[in-house]
Amino acid sequence: MIVCENLVKIYKTNEIEVVALQGLDLVVEAGELMAIIGNSGSGKSTLLNMIGGLDRPSAGKLFVDGKDLLKFTDKELVKYKRETVGFVWQNNARNLIPYLTAEENVELPMLFFKNQQDRRNRAIELLDMVGLSHRRKNKLEELSGGEQQRVAIAIALANQPKILLADEPTGAVDTKTAAQILDVFRELNSSLGLTIVIVTHDQQISRKVDRVVAIRDGRTSSEFIRRRSYREELEAMESQESIEEQQDTHEELAVLDRAGRLQIPREYLEHLGMWGAKKVKVELEDDRIVLVNPERKAQAK
């Protein structure tokens, strides 16, 4: 569904140049539920904006649903944003109009494409999907933060997008509410076969998705792959499996790019006294590639 190859994004002003993405590679399969994590400034929100058509890459390749976004005209980009992607933001002020009811908010994206009755029926259907049909006549001030975010998800689904993009969707709610919102995403992914990409700082999300991609310094550095299906984990919880076993849900794998490069975690390099070093010795030992600090090796001799 999504293919990024050597993706670069540079923001320029009169005085400075900021490289937000520097050769990022990523593939997201159709129907996948995955999360992107990274520190502030790592480039994860920039990536989401480019997939959503809100920003254009400076270089590289970006294909979504078989379409080359770098070749889109402005008119084609508008059509893409309207028909292919749905967005959920962390800030509800960006998702919702406060003086409208939940139902009217969900109807709004369909204003020019459906008649009034069809809009209402679709809005009720979507609010039911996110468990809020009983609150459809309530305005923003009458809804909790979690309920507002679920209305936002319904709005993002109004025009039947193929991809749902969520930028820190649990960032403004408590842990219990965050878990409920993530359950909504998982149910939508399962029932609709919807491709969902979530950008987050929330480590709780990793237990709810199948794959987590970590971005560091504008590149994909590692992936956390689920060891077993979510259904199997629920069964393990019901059988009262130990806490330690439940938490060990994913295996972390470093990402090797097309040039054979990978990012080594800083704490590993610091442990070996190699952080800041410009050169390391690379050796092949049986079925392992070993990195050696040349200074330590020289001292040992």
| Number of folded domains that form the chain | 2
Q: Are residues 270 and 253 in the same domain?
A: no
The reply to whether 176 and 212 lie within a common domain is: yes
Q: Quick one: pLDDT at residue 245?
A: 46
Burial of 238 (0-12, 13-18, 19+ CB in 10 A): exposed
Identify the CATH number of the domain in which residue 7 sits.
3.40.50.300
Do 291 and 199 belong together in one domain? no
Q: What is the pLDDT of residues 92-147, one digit of tens each?
A: 777 788 889 999 999 998 887 778 888 889 999 999 999 988 988 998 889 888 89
Residues 252 and 271 in one domain: no
Flag whether 202 is in a domain: yes
Question: Does 282 reside within a domain?
Answer: yes
Structure tokens belonging to residue 294: 């040349």
61 with 168, same domain?
Answer: yes
What is the per-residue pLDDT across 275-290, written as a single tens digit (0 to 9) for each? 777 777 788 888 888 8
* Rounded to 5°, angle at Cα 59 from 56 and 64: 55
- CA–CA separation, 193 and 187 (whole Å): 9
Whether 74 and 188 map to the same domain: the answer is yes
Residue 124 placed within a domain: no
pLDDT at 237: 45
- Asked if residue 172 is part of any domain, the answer here is yes
For 171, the domain range is: 2-84+161-263
Are 254 and 301 part of one and the same domain? no
What mean pLDDT comes out for the span 272-277? 75
Write down the mean pLDDT value for the chain.
Answer: 82
Co-location of 259 and 270 in the same domain: no
Does 279 share its domain with 206?
Answer: no
In a domain, 224, yes or no: yes
pLDDT in tens, 185-239: 989 998 889 999 999 877 677 677 888 888 887 777 667 766 555 555 545 545 5
Domain membership flag for residue 217: yes
Same domain, 218 and 257: yes
Q: Are residues 215 and 230 in the same domain?
A: yes
Q: At what angle do helices 116-129 and 175-192 cross, to 10 degrees?
A: 120
Length of the chain counted residue by residue = 301
Asked if residues 63 and 2 have their Cβ atoms less than 8 Å apart, the reply is yes
Is residue 295 one of the residues assigned to a domain? yes
pLDDT at residue 159 is higher than 60: yes
Residue 98 token pair: 């406060």
Distance CA 228, CA 222 (A): 19
**Domain-located, residue 115:** no
